């Protein structure tokens, strides 16, 4: 049994001025202990809503369908009190926005030690010592003094490191990281990635990484799930996906990355058009309006996610035809 198993997860939001909007459609994946899964896609693809639904953190007008099992227990069926005992303990999350994820009225010490005192039953002094050690691990200078400060006294990058330190010190079974290195400079980003790898290899912590940075995925992840317009469009081992992407959207994402072997002055490749608004994909494949390979069937029929061994893809176009028409797309 997988450590975390998500089956047919869907997310729908009610609206006052119209019918409900479905933003996540029938998403399934599994994460083993010690495994690393990257969920990638452009903004609005449903990555963050997928994990927020798993943790019971949707807005009040949101409704979740399907299952999300942690060691066999369905998180979506739990009462709030039971879920609260798991969040921050067995599952920890590094939220995307460091500017709004910390309470501006509480010190960093109060916000970091609260979880330790609640879940680990540590004294205030013990919890403070553990929090200072965690801040030092993410390279917060003069951590013993700064822990008594308020969030507004930290830069955006330092707030992000506080969030990362808070999650890491709990030593969870599953760590969900939503764009964990976005606000960090390259040097600190490398240090944080090293810490995540250390947790993964030494403690067996399973990591679910949400990002649009394919370079971070290539560095950290064993498996990748590509999402577009709320659906999983490709799943594969990371090395296989980077070597031979089998969905036009994945090809576009990889093609947009700068390459060291590109001719000097060559323009960056882009994916034409824009992603659809939530609930605005219409009939057929949501990616069809932006896809250079789209044909008539794509306009009227949503492609199912077909599994072929360790890979899965949702595309009407034959994989070999795609690869032949886009040579050199792998990294």
CATH of the domain at 63: 3.40.50.300
Domain of 74, in residue numbers: 4-221
Domain co-membership, 200 together with 292: no
Output the CA torsion 197→202→208→209 (10° steps). -10
* Predicted local confidence at residue 186, as pLDDT: 81
The DSSP secondary-structure symbol of 152 reads G
With beta carbons less than 8 A apart as the criterion, state whether 24 and 10 touch: yes
Helix (H, G, I), strand (E, B) or coil at 211: strand
Helix (H) or strand (E) holding 313: strand 311-313
d(CA 85, CA 198): 25
Judge whether 153 lies within some domain. yes
Are 246 and 314 within one domain? yes
Confirm whether 67 is domain-assigned.
yes
Residue 330 lies in a domain: no
Query: Do 216 and 272 lie in a common domain?
Result: no
Question: Which sign does the torsion angle of CA 167, 101, 21, 179 carry?
Answer: negative
Tens of pLDDT, residue by residue over 300-311, are 999 999 998 889
Angle 22-27-32 (CA atoms, 0-180°, nearest 5)? Answer: 150
Q: Both 77 and 60 in a single domain?
A: yes
Task: Give CA–CA dist 278/15, Å, rounded.
Answer: 12
DSSP letter for each residue of 44-97: TSSHHHHHHHHTT---TTEEEEEEEEETTEEGGGS-HHHHHHHBTTTEEEE-S-
Assigned domain for 331 exists: no
Q: What is the pLDDT of residue 82?
A: 92
Examine the domain organization and report whether 94 and 153 are in the same domain. Answer: yes
Q: Which residues pair with 306 in a beta bridge?
A: 313
According to the model, what pLDDT value does residue 214 have? 86
Rounded distance between C-alpha atoms, residue 236 and residue 170, angstroms: 30
Tell me: the pLDDT tens digits for 12-24?
999 988 889 999 9
Residues β-bridged to residue 21: 13
Residue 327 pLDDT? 57
Shared domain check, 206 and 96: yes
Number of domains, the chain: 2
**What are the φ and ψ backbone dihedral angles of 46, each rounded to 5 degrees?**
100, 5
Which of 196, 221, 246 is the endpoint of a domain? 221
The residue ranges of the chain whose pLDDT is under 70 are 183, 326-331
Residue whose C-alpha is closest to residue 206's, from 43, 26, 37: 37
Domain-embedded: residue 180: yes
Q: Which pLDDT value is given to residue 331?
A: 53
Contacts of 264 (CB under 8 A, 6+ apart): none
Are 5 and 208 a contacting pair, CB within 8 Å?
Answer: no
Whether 78 and 189 share a structural domain? yes
The CA distances from residue 131 to 140, 166, 171, 181, 190, in Å, are 11, 7, 12, 20, 21
Q: Are residues 44 and 185 in the same domain?
A: yes
Q: Are 174 and 69 in contact (CB under 8 A)?
A: no
- Shared domain for 272 and 130, answered yes or no, is no
Q: Do 76 and 188 have their domain in common?
A: yes
Residues 59 and 158 in one domain: yes
Residues 28, 30: Cα–Cα separation, whole Å = 7
pLDDT of residue 6: 97
User: Taking a C-beta distance cutoff of 8 angstroms, is the pair 264, 219 a contact?
Assistant: no
245 and 288: one domain? yes
The answer to whether 34 and 175 have CB atoms below 8 angstroms apart is no
The answer to whether position 305 is within a domain reads yes
Indicate whether 289 belongs to any domain: yes
pLDDT at 33: 92
**64 assigned to some structural domain:** yes
pTM reported for the whole predicted model: 0.91
CA dist 116 and 122 (Å) reads 6
Rg of the chain over Cα atoms, rounded to whole angstroms, equals 21
């Amino acid at each position: 049994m997988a450590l975390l198993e998500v089956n047919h997860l869907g997310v729908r939001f009610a609206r006052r001025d119209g019918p409900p909007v479905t933003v996540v459609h029938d998403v399934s994946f599994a994460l083993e202990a010690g495994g690393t899964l990257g969920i990638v896609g452009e903004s609005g693809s449903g990555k963050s809503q997928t994990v927020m639904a798993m943790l019971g953190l949707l807005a009040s007008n949101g409704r979740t369908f399907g299952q999300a099992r942690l060691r066999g227990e369905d998180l979506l069926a739990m009462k709030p009190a039971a879920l609260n005992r798991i969040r921050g303990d067995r599952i920890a999350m590094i939220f995307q926005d460091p500017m709004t994820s910390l309470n501006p009225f509480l010190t960093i010490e109060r916000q970091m030690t609260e979880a330790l005192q609640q879940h680990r039953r540590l004294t205030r002094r013990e919890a403070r010592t553990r929090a200072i050690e965690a801040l030092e691990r993410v390279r917060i200078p003069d951590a013993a003094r700064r822990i008594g400060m308020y969030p507004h006294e930290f830069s955006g990058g330092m707030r992000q490191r506080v969030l990362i330190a808070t999650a890491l010190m709990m030593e969870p079974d599953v760590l969900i990281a939503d764009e964990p290195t976005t606000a960090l400079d390259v040097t600190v980003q490398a240090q944080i990635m090293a810490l995540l790898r250390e947790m993964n290899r030494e403690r067996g912590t399973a990591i679910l990484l949400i990002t649009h940075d394919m370079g971070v995925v290539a560095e950290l992840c064993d498996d990748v799930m590509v999402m577009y317009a709320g659906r999983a469009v490709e799943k594969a081992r990371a090395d296989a996906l980077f070597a031979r992407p089998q969905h036009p959207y994945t090809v576009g994402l990889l093609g947009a990355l700068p390459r060291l072997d590109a001719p000097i002055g060559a323009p960056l490749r882009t994916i034409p058009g824009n992603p659809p608004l939530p609930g605005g994909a219409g009939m057929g494949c949501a990616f069809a309006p932006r896809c250079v390979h789209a044909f008539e069937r794509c306009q009227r029929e949503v492609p199912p996610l077909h599994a072929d061994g360790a890979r899965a893809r949702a595309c009407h176009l034959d994989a070999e035809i795609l690869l032949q028409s886009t040579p050199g797309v792998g990294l």
